[in-house]
Amino acid sequence: MLIKNNADGFSHAVSSEIADRRVVESRRTLIKHMGTGVAGAVMASWASRQALAQTPAAARPGKLAALPGRQSVVPGAVTMEKATSYQDASSYNNFYEFGTDKADPAANAHTLKTRPWTVDIEGLVKKPGSWALDDLLKLGAMEERIYRLRCVEGWSMVIPWVGYSLVDLIKRVEPLGNAKYVEFVTLADPKTMPFVGSRVLEWPYVEALRLDEAMHPLTLLAFGMYGEVLPNQNGAPLRLVVPWKYGFKSGKSIVKIRFTEKQPATAWNKAAANEYGFYSNVNPAVDHPRWSQATERRIGEDGLFTKKRKTLMFNGYEAQVGQLYAGMDLKKLY
């Protein structure tokens, strides 16, 4: 598919991103009362209505340490779709360091040690160095973002993540002028990750983004989900979430972020370049060599007569990110 740079700069809203009329009206009411003595009461009332509007599945499950986040104001960062249950989101996972079956990560990831944890910043930046997890946690304002996440295998979820835009960290380390890509290296510890060393992939797991993709406000450095810290099987203690790309682009348990001039070689692209391109944007017009990408199965909607959902371009985030790929042939650069 050739993405053209339309005059409106890809400002086409998709139905899932159009706010409910009652939500819009409540926001207008809040703005109207800002600066008056009743603003606090209006804010509290508005917040309670917003909380009630969210599915109960998005509430904190109370299994791990709390990690709250304010509601994000980044355009497109909060879908009104029903959230996947915590049970499904934390038990149906791809995390090949702990096994290739969907249930393996939840069964095996208890061995992962997430404290102490540091992330090394390397490459083409003015301020390289090591960041302790606690320092990274304080770097940006924690937000809750309810993102769709689609797997290249044809299933999808809706997950309330907690974190902040990766650009907050990128600006702090000050990339040099020749930095064009950001590489993410994940932990590869055979002592705590029993499938590291298996032949399915080259270890450590590596993913990468173009610098402008990494700096897009929707690109999330996530430390939690469902109001709590990340479960081990979901990429604790920190991971990337890039909602318009297939899930494997969102590296888990990150230990190194490197800024480069040349496009890095990534794990799945090295393993099967004809199946997993560098960009890996969700594109229903580009089929996987072994299956169609035109539809998807939403986890939790598994009834006998439940129809698959139509896959949306850029996973439904075209209005926010389409301009990043203006003029690119997204069938060739898949």
Share the mean pLDDT of the chain: 87
Tally of CB atoms within 10 A around 142: 17
pLDDT of residue 87: 97
Specify the pLDDT at position 13. Answer: 39
**Gap between the Cα atoms of 258 and 266, Å rounded:** 13
Strand intervals (E) in the chain: 70-71, 118-123, 129-132, 143-150, 155-165, 181-186, 206-210, 220-225, 228-229, 239-241, 254-260, 295-298, 309-310
pLDDT of residue 7: 35
Stretch (H or E) spanning 270: helix 267-271
Alpha-carbon distances, residue 54 vs 20, 39, 50, 295 (angstroms): 12, 23, 7, 25
pLDDT at site 4 = 42
Is residue 267 within 8 A of residue 205, CB to CB? The reply is: yes
Local structure of residue 193 (DSSP, 8 states):
-
pLDDT tens figures, 57-81: 457 999 999 999 999 999 999 999 9
Rounded-to-integer distance, Cα 96 and Cα 238, Å = 16
Comparing 23-32, 191-200, 257-266, which segment has the lowest mean pLDDT?
Answer: 23-32
Overall CATH class of domain 65-325: alpha beta
Which of 9-23, 208-222, 264-278, 318-332 comes out lowest in average pLDDT? 9-23
125-176: pLDDT as tens digits: 999 999 999 999 999 999 999 999 999 999 999 999 999 999 999 999 999 9
Every domain of the chain and the residues it spans? 65-325
Q: Which two tokens stand for residue 77?
A: 């960062």
pLDDT at 304 over 80: no
Half-sphere exposure of 327 (CA within 13 A, CB side): 1
